[in-house]
Structure 1
Amino acid sequence: MAEEEVNYASVVFKANKSPAAEVKKEEDTVYDEVKVKDKPADQTDDTKDEKANNRHGNFRLLACCLGILCVLLLLAIIAVCVYITTVNPTSGQNQLTENLTHLEALNRNLTNINDKLNSTVHNLTVQFDNLNKSYTALESNNTDVIAENLKLEKQKQELETKNQQLETAMKNLTETLEDMKTESNKLNVSRAQWSIDQYCPIDGGVRKCKSCQTDWVQEESSCYVVHNAPSNQQLTWDEAQANCKGKISELAVINNAVEKEFIKESSWADDHWIAGYWIGLRVVDGKWVWLDGSDLTETSWIQQATPTKGHCAISVPNNIQNKYLESVNCGNRNAWICEKKSLSLTPP
């Protein structure tokens, strides 16, 4: 029998590295011997069958070894897992704790950021509401301003229209004033001519001037005209004063005894319808006042010297009590005497 050759096979198992400690452990080496018989130099059929049977047995043995090796490998893997989970659990737990702490810190930061964002959103919401209110108020004010502007525009148009009307009225008034001025000039010329004709009448083809106009009587510096109107043409005191004004004069005013005597002598009418002549004396605020504003100082001149409201004075001729003035109601109708200043024909 030839010498059998011995072959050796080695299998090495290594543990996985731990994440924290990285521990390395080398497993024991297991050797298994497999003997293979050498082929003899001269083989018979029986020898061949025996060799074939031996080879078959060797194969089965090799298969068994491989199965055992697989089981051992599985056990080694299980052992490594158990080692990782049992021998070094602290490192993983620490890593998880660190990760949890980091996550909690991140969560707190995110919570703070979220709170800040919520506060910012709240502030922005409040500001937005305030802006909306301000916008609404401004819009309302703008509406009011537009309405006021329209109102002012309307008033401006109305004022422009009124201004145009006033300008037209002023133009018309100016034209009227010009016309009146022209008429006044004509009237003045006419009056001047009238005055010339009245104060300087033509006598025998020659103008002769005098201090009082025609039909007026001069006494000192005044001219008088006596209106001996019949009863149906007599006037009240106010009407008589208006008539005198139309002649550029007033009812006669007696300033002294000479004028009083002249007025008395002028009241010469013997007509029964003339009871007296209106003169410029009446009751004002409870006292006798002349038309020139002076008071009656000689109360002995008038019958019923006590002033009576609504009474005026008339001049009467030949009064039995020698009082040449009488107090009568201003609404009575009487004749009247007008007075005006006389012209001066001599140089001053």
Structure 2
Amino acid sequence: MLWKPILLALLAPTIHALLRFSCSQLVIERLDPLVNPGISQSPHLHQIIGGNAFNVSMDPAISPADQATCTTCTFSEDTSNYWTAVLFFRARNGTFKRVPIKGNSGFESSSGGMTVYYTPTIASTAAKVTAFKKGFRMIVGNPSYRTEAEAKQFRQLTYTCLQTITTRTGETLDFPKKPCPVGVMVNVRFPTCWDGVNLDSPDHMSHVAYPQSGTFETNGPCPATHPVKVPQLFYEVIWDTTKFNDKALWPEDGSQPFVWSFGDKTGYGNHGDYVFGWKGDALQKAMDSNCNINCPQLKTQSIATGNKCAQKQKVPENIDGWLTELPGGMMVQ
């Protein structure tokens, strides 16, 4: 895997070990086995990466690692599934166009997807984290949120208006309000404290928590209710908004034109989902080894091989071309 050394300082100045890897697109469709298990089409569209065990329902007693035959991730022992909503451009005439995804720095040949991070330790402490367990799953963010005050409940769900592919400053809680030269990067950082007991919870969030003060990166302590430190799981998704940078295409009032597939035009409803699916103790081994980007303790595959792992939509639906409404008929609000 390629890596540009300057990014380490830009991305995580206080961290001395992390996994950073590419996972290309598995499928884009309206499925959500966490929020809408068993429902053949969830209310809004998602983009999914990882193992090909992703399905309408995913029994927590059965690990994706036991069912997946391939993964889109460059660490081939990772058959987890990671997903977010999908970004759309809304034209002046009210029609919608799906915004494509492009590869991150060092992964330019990837066919979209995400960059995934697992951070095992903090530079200021020798304390290590406990890897997620079989059956573990979680969600961060809330698609119903539309205000800054609501969005602040999740400390690290942000947007970066990319001036270059290595821009890592100027994060905002809402959509950028001006054209971004290289695209819009969506940052999804999950809580890093676990109650140590429950692999999931009814809202898929209560079993995890943010540090009691500060953030994982600043070594904030975990609350007593969630004493177990787990890895900092972090997604970066780069949406190629550049083809829509002509302000003549934007609303006449100058407001930003992008909207999430669940109808959010503010950006405050940013959220992400995760189902753990690493094989055996591979993730714990990587965390204990303090792997720094590359990890000899893990098996890898080429981006080209990962790109070959794909699913067809289980319920075929038109998500390309100019659409008169968002998939599922989601209203913009």
In the superposition, the TM-score normalised over structure 2's length comes to 0.17
| Larger Cα-atom Rg | 1
The structure carrying a bigger strand percent of its residues is 2
Higher relative contact order (CA 8 A, sep 6+): 2
In the superposition, the TM-score normalised over structure 1's length comes to 0.17
